[in-house]
Each structure stands twice: as structure tokens, then as C-alpha cells.
Structure 1
Amino acid sequence: MYISITKQHLDKTFSKSCGDFVAYLEKENRDKEPELQEHFFDQYNDHVSPKHVTNDIDGNTAKLRKNEPKFYSLTISPSQRELEHIGNDPEKLRRYVREAMKDYANSFYRDAPVSVDSIKYYAKIEYERTYKGFDREIKENQPFRAQIVKLEHDLVKIRRGELEGNCQAIQKTIDRLRAEAPHKVNGQMVVQGMKKPGLQTHVHIIVSRRDMTNTLSLSPGSSHKASEAILNGSPVKRGFDRDGFFEKAERTFDTLFKYERNFVESYSAHKMYNKDTYRFFAHLMALPTNEKSAAFKIMGKSGMHVPNLNIPTNQVQLALKAFKQLKRTIDVAKDAGSISI
């Protein structure tokens, strides 16, 4: 499970409207018949119009300054293994989002508890993803792509008579480079804009910065961590417990759908990897044989080479070379969203 929380955008000032974002989230509905379109939904309604979403979020920004976000964006991206477990069922995903938003509300650190009924949000399920420039596959294919583009330009110049050369030989070189590129989908070299294979269902959520009454500010931003401050001589709770939210959201999925989560899929493993990679590695190698085997299969499904390591589970001080090889494997799995929240 991968869950991200981002503010409206990263500039110094913020647009007064979420209209552009709402329009962007309608992209998969273009050219689809009305009965095949995916609708926005909230905690209690399955069909909410884009116009209503825009007007409701835009009208809930009382007393927010220009340098404050008007809304936050949450993205919930189950792994392909999790999607397979629920049959890629949009109804189950909507049910999960509604339960996860209860976890979101409960993660605000306040003297008076925040409930999901205090949160103004709208969510939208999407089924496709395309490769973008920051994806590992695009970066690793880029040297091959750059050579191909240059050779294709040379072909054009040769055919125009602007350059001398052997078109047939150049085309053979282009074909060879495409075949040697490390990442392909259905035999085709991965390029920007190409659809990603497999189950790619995910959910975008627009959450108002203000509560339902338009009086209380609810920021999940990283600069608003759970803490206490002194106001008029009394301690006041404030902020948002991100770790708590991620952990609760993970448990909610597992409980709802009786999902048996492997160690490498867990948020605790993700934290351990970031804070103490050697401890993560030792824990991974010390798993029972069946769980460890499943862990490597899960990472292998990310599409990368998983090293064949025959290492005793009680040997913590392992060869550095073998460790670095596995670390690269884990990094790829993290990038693929299989062990991150």
C-alpha cells in the first residue's frame, strides 16, 4: 500500500480554485459513455458531480491566506497483490477509502476528537497509470532512447539529401537499441506516456483544509506534526499524526479484507528500512522460510532481478557485496510501491 499526502502545490501562493485539479481527475472519463464513467464520491454519496466538488471545496476556505493551501491531495495506491486480493473491485475500494478517511480524521491531534463527519473530501477512482519522466524504467531506458532519437533524425536528413549514410544500417542499429533497452511492455520499449501494465487502480482524494463548518483548520502537512503548545497558559493539542494514520490505514485494509500482509509490504518495514537498513535486512533474513520466500516473490513481482542469496538466517554480519545487491532490490521494490506507505 502506498499512501501519499501532498498540499495543493509547491509554489509560494495557491490558486483560489481546485477546478484545474478536478478537471485533471476527469481525464479517464473523456470519450466514455455516461454509464461507463467513474464518479467522484464522498463518505455517503457514490455520485457527486465535478461541478459540485469544485464549488464545495472552493467555498470552504474562510480566513485562509494566499500562502496557505486551500486543499490537500491524498493518493491511495494499493499494490497489485492487494488489488488482486480484492478482485480489483471498485465497490470494495470505495468501502476501504471511507474507512481509511475515518483513520485520517482520527489522526488529527486535538483536544476534541475529530470525526470523519468533520472532514470535507471527495474521492475518485482511476484505473490507469502512464510512465513519466521520473519513473525508473524511463530513466534507465533514456540512454537508449537518446541514441535512437539522434539516429532517427539522421535518417530524415539522409532521405532529404542533407546527410550521407546507409539508411538500412542505421535502421538496424535503431532496432538493436530498442531490443537492448532494459524495460519493455509487450515487447515494446517503455517510453513516456505508455500505459503501465497490470492492475494500476488507485484513488485520488481532494480534502479541504477547513472542516465541514468552515471554521477549523485541519492540516495534515509535514510541518504540522502532532505536538502540544501553550496557549493562554494552557497546553493545547495540535497537528497530525502521519505515522499513526499510515499504520491505521494499513490495518484497516487487512481487517476489512482479511489480508495477510507480508513483512516487506508493511509500513513498519518501510520505516525500519529508512532508519536502520541493516536491521531491516537482518529481520528479512530471519523470517520463517515460507514468509521469507513469499517476501522475495513479492519483490520479484515488481519486475526486477532478485538475487539468489543462500545466507544462514542467524548470520547478521553478511558480506557487504551481497548486502548491497539486496539493498538495490529493496530500493526497486520501494519505488514500485510494494513496501511503502
Structure 2
Amino acid sequence: TFKGSDKQIQENQPYATKILELNQKIRSIQHGETKGDINKMKKEIERLEREAPHQNNGKRIVRDMSKPGPQSHIHIIVSRKDASNRYSLSPGSKYKATVVEMNGKLVKRGFDRDLFYTNAEKTFDTMFSYKRNYVESYKARKTYLKDPKLYFLTITRLPTNQKAIAFNLLQKTGVNTTLLSMPTNKFQLTLKAINTLKKGIGKAIESGSIGI
């Protein structure tokens, strides 16, 4: 559904505000508190509804309205314990992605999250001929959490066209990329700069719904 942070909602907001004000005036007139031409106000509301820049099936897009097109997502569910109920299958467990002998047979246990995400990205990109930018990759997200400075430096060292795409993607999520626009040979991130960028990048990663 559409949320308050979506471009469509933000650009429709001036129209929504005027419509709300007119509806309040109409209610005030109906209650005898003020005087005015209700029909004229209703026509003005109809005009604002039509002229709002973002529409969906002929209706002004508002918060909580369903977005058009497929909106599917996937949940991967992994059991907390293995079949013997002895070993944790958590991605952070010490038993992660190991092989043990069980009932005379070698059995894989655990869940290798890194391998899962890497293979999922490769499969998606191949299937849909998608050219994934560095900032969209699982590797980049892990680098950001472990070494933010390396993450930012890597972005500045991308080929020109890839760096432009990276900046555009980050800006769409509200990240201020001014600091990243400095020439690479002069790029020195202070602690304050890192914290400023981390705040924005963190929100961007959260919005991607990818847990690490």
C-alpha cells in the first residue's frame, strides 16, 4: 500500500490539504456555524480530486491505497532446530552450514545465509537480465555494517556510470550524497561524516527489507 514517504503521496499532499480544509468548511456550514456556498465547495473538491498529479484507476492516490500491479514478496521459513532437535539452525548459530553423521549418514545442517543471498541474487539477475548495482548487493550491505568507511570508499571508486546509478539509488531513499561527491583522491571521511551517512544508509537498508 502507499505510505506517507512515497513520492505519489507527498506530491498529492497539497491537494489533500485543500480538500480537507474544504470538507471542514462544508461541515461547519452544515452545522450552522458559518455561511458559504456548499455546492461551489463540492465542485472545487471535485476539481482538486481530478487535478491531483497521481491517480490510480481514476482516483487520487491516498495513504493505505493498494498499489497497482503485483506486490508479492517471499518469506523463507527455516525450522529453529534440526530433525534431532539437538542443533540450532539459526544463521548465527555455531552449527551453521556444517555436515554431521546422523544414523550412519552424512547430513547437512544449518543454514548458510551468505550463500543463500548470493545465490538468490545471481538467480534473480540471470532470470530477469537485471544489472545489479553495488549498493543493491548483499555484499555491499555486509560491508556497510562491518566497515562503513570501506563501503563509502568503494562507492566513490565505482566506474563513472555505476557510481552515478549508485548515487541515484541512494538519493531516492533520502540519503544525502554530497559527501560522496568529493574527488576520490581527497575523500577523507571524518567520524561526523560517517555517522551522518550511516544514518541515511541504515534507513535505506531497512527499507529494502533485507536482514543481515
Give TM-score scaled by structure 2 length. 0.56
1:289 Cα deviation (Å)?
Answer: 1.4
3-state SS in 1 of match to 2:185: coil
CA distance in 2, matches of 1:174, 1:326: 43
Tell me the equivalent position of 2:161: 290
1:269 Cα deviation (Å)?
Answer: 0.9
1:174 Cα deviation (Å)?
Answer: 8.1
Q: Is the 8 A contact 2:89 2:109 kept in 1?
A: no
Q: Does structure 1 residue 202 correspond to structure 2 residue 72?
A: yes
1:163 is matched with which residue: 33, 39, 42?
A: 33
Percent of aligned positions with the same letter in both sequences?
31
> Cα–Cα, structure 1 residues 149 and 159, in superposed 2: closer, same or farther, change >3 Å?
same
Q: Does structure 1 residue 225 correspond to structure 2 residue 95?
A: no
Tell me the equivalent position of 2:6: 137
RMSD: 5.2
1:285 Cα deviation (Å)?
Answer: 0.9
1:154 Cα deviation (Å)?
Answer: 2.2
Structure 2 residues without counterparts, runs of 5 or longer: 97-107
1:251 is matched with which residue: 110, 117, 122?
A: 122
The structure with the greater share of residues assigned to strand is 1
Q: Is the 8 A contact 1:158 1:167 kept in 2?
A: no
Higher RCO, 1 or 2 (CA under 8 Å, sep at least 6)? 1
Q: Which has the larger radius of gyration?
A: 2
Tell me the equivalent position of 2:188: 317
Tell me the equivalent position of 2:54: 185
Q: Does structure 1 residue 279 correspond to structure 2 residue 147?
A: no
Tell me the equivalent position of 2:103: none
Structure 1 residues without counterparts, runs of 5 or longer: 1-129, 230-236
Q: Is the 8 A contact 1:131 1:192 kept in 2?
A: yes
Size of the aligned set, in residue pairs, is: 188
Q: Is the 8 A contact 1:225 1:241 kept in 2?
A: no
> Cα–Cα, structure 1 residues 157 and 268, in superposed 2: closer, same or farther, change >3 Å?
same
3-state SS in 2 of match to 1:270: helix
